[in-house]
Amino acid sequence: MRKIMAVLALPIIFSLVMLPSAASAKKHMWRDHVKYEKYRRDPVLKMLKDQADSLKAVRDSITTEIQKKWKEKKKEERENRKIIRFDFSHIKKPASPTVFKAPFRFPPVAQYYTGTCWCFSTTSFFESEVARLTGQQIKLSEMYTVYWEYVEKAKGYVEKRGYQPFGEGSESDAVLLIWKKYGVVPESVYNGLLPGQKMYYHEDMAKEMSDYLHFVKSHNYWDEDEVVAHVRVILDKYMGRPPEAFEYNGKTMTPKEFLADVLKLNLDDYVQVISTLSIPFYTYGEYKFPDNWRPTKTYCNVPLDDFYKYIKSATGKGYTLCIGGDVSEPGYNGYEDVAIVPTFDIPQSYIDQDSRELRIYNKTSGDDHGIHLLARKRIGNHDWYLIKDSSRAARHGKFMGYMFYRDDYIKLKMLSYTVHKDIVGDLLKKCKKPEQK
């Protein structure tokens, strides 16, 4: 047993003898060190990448040259572009707006780079109504109404889960609905321009709101309070926040108090009229265009003869109308201050309910502009109408926001109007409410 233990102990003793001391191990231990050196790019890979870059540069230079030529070609086409227009040289038209006996209105206001003709035209209409009914001449704010209409559109967009147009356009009845809910303010209190701004430009604002709402839809995020709050942040950034109260003639009032106590307008006294074969005559129905986004069904539909009869009646009694329709026609020319229907479009004797409806159906008559119709005057064989217009086209001619529409253009291309109920009293007796159909 002792012999075996002795033998077993020998390797242990040997290993103890062979182990170096701690000091000796520290002295002879090898340590790796870190250092930085220049990156060496593989020469073959570099050669291949340089060759690829050279080929790309050649391709890009060819592409750039093609793009340059294409842009020059498109520029030349734009500069030399021609559009079909009517030769007005033989047309006997009004000499100037002064030949019309028009009711009070403020000078035309430009909408500039916005799609808010619906508000400019209807606001102008109600300014004339205030003057007619109360004798007051008060310039009202267009942009106060525009601001709240965007808020309402955002609410509708959430309610309908994005299945609703969201753009700059609307209809004249939107002004009625917004004023009923939010009131209205004088232009001097809120004009929707930021400090230093002199012209309206809404393209960026509209795009930012539209992009945000598309994000909302794509993420199924339908919290109305949050969405409206965000839309209002965008509106405030571009337009400023409208007042909740303001001082007018030494008295503090809200926008709704201003509407009721100062303007004294009864908004229920105003009627929308259309003429289409798509719904029965003498019933209220929907005006089926994208700008009627709500959509309201408050439009009294009448035959074309009645539609035009009430326009003549209104202007004959010193009333004005807010009217809308199509202004993208060969017979419409802002440089000539005139809108007519040329015979190469359709002979005047052929303008009737059916020719009008065909153009509505095939979308060659669209609802692309709202205007304020002020007065009528007979010149030659036609009735001419004085139009107050917020568009840039109406500023291409001599009269800076005034144009002359001939009777044929009104009959064929104007699709709806708003007028005081006094003008259409007999019509209202015949026109049935939707629930009575």
Q: Express each pLDDT in 295-353 by its tens digit.
A: 988 999 999 999 999 999 999 999 999 999 999 999 999 999 999 999 999 999 999 99
338-339 vs 402-406, strand pairing mode: parallel
Q: What mean pLDDT is predicted for residues 220-244? A: 98
Q: Which of the residue ranges 73-87, 166-180, 280-294 would you say has the lowest mean pLDDT?
A: 73-87
Q: Express each pLDDT in 403-425 by its tens digit.
A: 999 999 999 999 999 999 999 99
Measured CA to CA, the distance from residue 407 to residue 355 in angstroms comes to: 15
For residue 24, name the pLDDT band (cuts at 50, 70, 90). Answer: low
pLDDT of residue 23: 59
Q: What is the mean pLDDT of the chain?
A: 92
Measured CA to CA, the distance from residue 362 to residue 164 in angstroms comes to: 22
Helix (H) or strand (E) holding 378: strand 369-379
Three-class secondary structure of residue 422 per DSSP: helix
pLDDT over 90 percentage in the chain:
82
Cβ proximity of 417 and 322 under 8 Å? yes
pLDDT of residue 83: 82
Q: Which residue has the tokens 């003498």?
A: 282
Q: What angle do CA 327, 405, 308 make, to 5 degrees?
A: 95
Exposure class string for 366-377: b at 16+ Cβ within 10 A, else e: bbbbbbbbbbbb
Structure tokens at 187: 């232009």
Q: Express each pLDDT in 171-224 by its tens digit.
A: 999 999 999 999 999 999 999 999 999 999 999 999 999 999 999 999 999 999
414-420 vs 338-339, strand pairing mode: unpaired
DSSP string, 48-59: HHHHHHHHHHHH
pLDDT of residue 41: 86
Q: Express each pLDDT in 376-406 by its tens digit.
A: 999 999 999 999 999 999 999 999 999 999 9
Residues paired with 201 in a beta bridge: 113
Q: What mean pLDDT is predicted for residues 343-370? A: 96
pLDDT of residue 433: 75
Exposure class string for 262-298: b at 16+ Cβ within 10 A, else e: bbebeeeebbbbbbbbebebebbbbbebebbbbbbeb
- Other Cβ atoms less than 10 A from the Cβ of 105: the count is 18
Residues paired with 323 in a beta bridge: 371, 417
Structure tokens at 265: 């307008």
Q: Which residue has the tokens 């040997």?
A: 14
Q: Is the pLDDT of residue 33 over 90?
A: no
Measured CA to CA, the distance from residue 286 to residue 353 in angstroms comes to: 18
Q: What angle do CA 324, 418, 107 make, to 5 degrees?
A: 70
Cβ proximity of 168 and 217 under 8 Å? no
pLDDT of residue 25: 56
Q: Note the pTM of the prediction, 2 decimals.
A: 0.84
Measured CA to CA, the distance from residue 152 to residue 316 in angstroms comes to: 37
Peptide bond into 242 cis (omega under 30): no
Cβ proximity of 139 and 386 under 8 Å? no
Give the domains, in start order, of the chain with CATH numbers: 110-265 (3.90.70.10), 267-437 (3.90.70.10)
